[in-house]
Structure 1
Amino acid sequence: MGNGAGDAHPALHLRSPTPDDGVAVFELIARCPPLDPNSRYCNLLQCSHFAQTSIIAHAENAAKALGFVSGYRVPDRPDTLFVWQVAVDEAARGTGLGSRLLEALLTRPALADCRYLETTIGPDNRASWRLFERLAKQFGAVIETTTLFESQRHFSGLHPDEILLRIGPLERIAD
């Protein structure tokens, strides 16, 4: 999938990841603080077991990933896509790539029955809050928030609270 005229990366390709993308995803997430890094093995699983619910962006003929969204269907609520991480390389920030990745993921035929999106965001991660607020507006959905994981209780005070955003129900948008 390419992007429109005027985008910062004229030959940008969005697609499902493959295991061959595992290292590029690991390196991208390492370049995107405050995202929590995962093991290389975890990234390989995201790029294989969760390929249908994840998406990667590459510039044409480039090994370096410019964007990645990992997600999975919540096991006891298959109508809900949980977005684990959204990573956008510094070179592609401010271009709307995060929004494009989420929109492309949510409009996949394989996810047509997903009516809700959930994600967690730290209270101070303003960029992520804005991204998901725009997404909710784009899909005509409301956002409900609760604290899913508490700093002291779940992270021994070493990580801020993780606020759960539940967005939905999602109105389908035309491709």
Structure 2
Amino acid sequence: MAKAIYHKHQRVFVRPVGTWALVEQVKPQWVKDVEEPVRVYYDCGLGRDFVADELAAEQADEIDTASWRVLRARNKWQAVEECAHHPYPGTFPVVVTESMDWGGWRVPAAEYDRDPARIEGQARLIANAPHLMAIAEQLAKLASEDGELPPALAKLSHEASKTLREINTIPSSKDNGKSRRAA
């Protein structure tokens, strides 16, 4: 007995051809008096049907969230006296998202100088985003496991699920991410 592993419109890597394609049609092969299909073929629009062993699903990128942190970088363009009004004079925040001290989020010095308190808040928010995402995932899981939640908690879990969908959805090349907030 076979079950479909891939679904219609799913992006898969077709190993015999060596290219990515979309599953255009799922074709189960049925036998009389059998409740499940014997085989499942996938039409990817490449001239022949493929079996599941010839395809590979696109893997979602795992985000390494254990090492996100805020570091202080020295401000090369202003002396400490010029930026005495900053929360940390002579430095600006850098959110590092790698295990080493590079890669992540930085802000231009002019933008930091315009509103340092706002930028400091953004840095803390970005550094703590993985923890907030874990909380949202737990909240969404709670709602899916327990159908009877208080209305306020149900609304929060619905918002968490919606936000997680937005985070995990890769924008299509058609909209270039512009219409992600339309809903």
TM over 0.5: no
Which structure shows the higher strand fraction? 1
Computing the radius of gyration over CA atoms, which structure comes out larger, 1 or 2?
2
* Higher-RCO chain (CA-CA 8 Å, sequence separation at least 6): 1
- TM-score, length of structure 1 as denominator length: 0.25
